Structure 1
Amino acid sequence: MRIGIVNLMHDKVATQARFAQRLQQWQPAIELTYFYPVDHYRNRPVPASVAAISQPLDLATVATMDAVIVTGAPVERLDFEAVTYYQELTRLFDFLAQRHLPTLFVCWGAMAALHHFFGIEKLSLTHKYFGGYSQRIQQPTPLLADLPRHFIAPHARYAEVNHDQVNQVAALAVNATTTTDELFLLTQQDQPFSYLFAHLEYDGPALQQEFIREQAAWGGLPAQPVNYDLATGQPLFSWETTSQRFFKNWLTQVQITEEI
């Protein structure tokens, strides 16, 4: 199986290691290809650290993949059109839809895809939604197989999409939310697309590292993750089992789609 990962995250090396761990623990032979958006570096050199671990986003190469993941990005507070690579991503989104290629859109990647396909608006939150939160299943889906009705997952974002607009799209199913109704997972009925709003690729120290990075970048004290021990970088409620089961289920669905 070949999976392409469009890595839009700030911590690219750590992000790629996390996805590799989540996916290859189930299928060690999976071939992972990482892409960066060309337009992000249109007027400046591609950093050597990026070029060393990923390749420019190319639709001809994407066409050889069995599935694609579009990661989150630390740009939730920008308008979509203000993001330098948004138009490049929309061309990718259209290509994925034309080919009915199984795709997992994560966090901002999910927001961007929903905006492009359905015109769903992104709404800024009054404060960062950050930490390990309890989720609940609303509509069963194979992606949530073997998970309890309530489970823990990590979120790290400054925005949410418009729920009223989501509910008006017949092709979208709200499969799970937090216990306070923030979105966790949507699936699309007419495409093999899944929209995940939690960072299930995160390992235990990831929220601690994100907090430290934002503190260094902006100064002051950024939002502190809830249900999480910053001193040790460990969650008070573990999402390890949730992550393992979710990615195992997603790989199973990719294989089923390949066989149809």
Structure 2
Amino acid sequence: MPIKIPDTLPARSTLENEGVMVMSEADAIRQDIRPMRIGLLNLMPNKVSTETQLARLLGATPLQIELTLVRMTDHVARNTPADHMDAFYRPWAELAEERFDGFVMTGAPVERLPFEAVGYWRELQQIFEWTQSNVHRTLTICWSAQAALHHFYGVPKHELEEKAFGIFRQRNLEPSSPFLRGFSDDFAIPVSRWTEVRREDLPQDEGLRVLADSFATGLCLVEDPAHRALHMFNHVEYDTRTLADEFERDGKGALPIDYFPGDDPERPPENRWRSHAHLLFGNWVNEIYQTTPFDTARIGTADRFGPHD
């Protein structure tokens, strides 16, 4: 099944050219099924690229997805044209009474700031609490994953001596987890961050499960059943050239590790994580589908008692 996004969203033509099925509003209405409502709180600077990356993964799943793009209510994006934000994004305060089957929260270029120093931190805390009553399952990425654990459990983040930057092998620690169904015993994904959350800082009695990690870069994927959340600390959603673009943006300093063939930035990188990106998102969407209430009014309320009560 396809993903439903606005007809004029820039991501649409890219996805259609890649063979991703994209549905128009009129076609979606004709289908007598309830689409899964997924919200995307996009905190990344290049919002158009991030929209495309995540819509690509959500649109490859076998279910009809209705994607809603969400922004912080009062924060003004500096790297994305205002007309794009006005046309395609809804402020969170406008949809705070609505309910979603799934909600994705991206990374943000603020990881070296204390959480409380981030201009939209207070609203983000409200959104974390809102997910407990209005969202069935949440997926956080990179800084948002760190922020969620800090909000719910007081887990600190630690600044690294140098940026974790490149493609790093991750260990599949819980192959029986439904979120890692079909994953290899180890897998490579992009990492790009200046901070980390450490395993020893996770509370031991709150049911958190470390699903994947790396000897080199630490935590990769943590499940938080108490909050129906999955926390991805790296960037499985990245395009093939995203790290190359970051390398060029940063003045071609330290090479991303194990990314350019032969460590030669003149050679095009190869994507070695695409299949696992699709697996992770497909598994996450499937878990939502299997457990979310059909009546969206019961999302949140039903979650307190179990999906089928």
Give the alignment's TM-score, normalised by structure 1: 0.89
Equivalent position amino acid for 1:198 in 2: N
1:200 correspondence with 2:231:
no
Equivalent position amino acid for 1:142 in 2: P
Structure 1 residues 131 and 255: CA distance shift in structure 2, 3 A: same
Computing the radius of gyration from Cα coordinates, the structure with the larger value is 2
**Which residue, out of 194, 217, 237, partners 1:158?**
194
User: 2:17: which partner in 1?
Assistant: none
Deviates more, 1:110-119 or 1:183-192: 183-192
**Identity of aligned pairs, percent?**
35
Q: 1:132-211 to 2 correspondence within 5 Å?
A: 132-140=167-175, 141-180=177-216, 182-211=218-247
1:63 correspondence with 2:98:
yes
CA RMSD of aligned residues (A): 2.1
May I ask how many residue pairs the two structures share in their alignment? 252
**Which residue, out of 285, 300, 309, partners 1:251?**
285
Higher normalized contact order (CA 8 Å, seq sep 6+, divided by chain length): 1
Displacement of 1:36: 1.1
1:39 correspondence with 2:74:
yes
Q: Determine if contact 1:204/1:233 at 8 Å carries over to the other structure.
A: no
Structure 1 residues 205 and 75: CA distance shift in structure 2, 3 A: same
1:80 correspondence with 2:115:
yes
Q: Determine if contact 1:100/1:191 at 8 Å carries over to the other structure.
A: no
Structure 1 residues 88 and 133: CA distance shift in structure 2, 3 A: same
Displacement of 1:214: 3.0
CA distance in 2, matches of 1:159, 1:169: 24
1:213 correspondence with 2:249:
yes
User: 1:218: which partner in 2?
Assistant: none
Unpaired runs of 5+ in structure 1? 216-220
Equivalent position amino acid for 1:82 in 2: A
Q: Determine if contact 2:136/2:292 at 8 Å carries over to the other structure.
A: no
User: 1:25: which partner in 2?
Assistant: 60
Give the SS at the match of 1:228. Answer: coil
Give the SS at the match of 1:38. Answer: coil
1:239 correspondence with 2:273:
yes
Deviates more, 1:118-127 or 1:100-109: 100-109
Q: Determine if contact 1:23/1:248 at 8 Å carries over to the other structure.
A: yes
Displacement of 1:70: 0.4
**Which residue, out of 107, 126, 130, partners 2:161?**
126
**Which residue, out of 226, 230, 241, partners 2:257?**
226
Displacement of 1:232: 4.1
Equivalent position amino acid for 2:51 in 1: Q
Structure 1 residues 170 and 117: CA distance shift in structure 2, 3 A: same
Q: Determine if contact 1:137/1:150 at 8 Å carries over to the other structure.
A: yes
Q: Determine if contact 1:36/1:55 at 8 Å carries over to the other structure.
A: yes
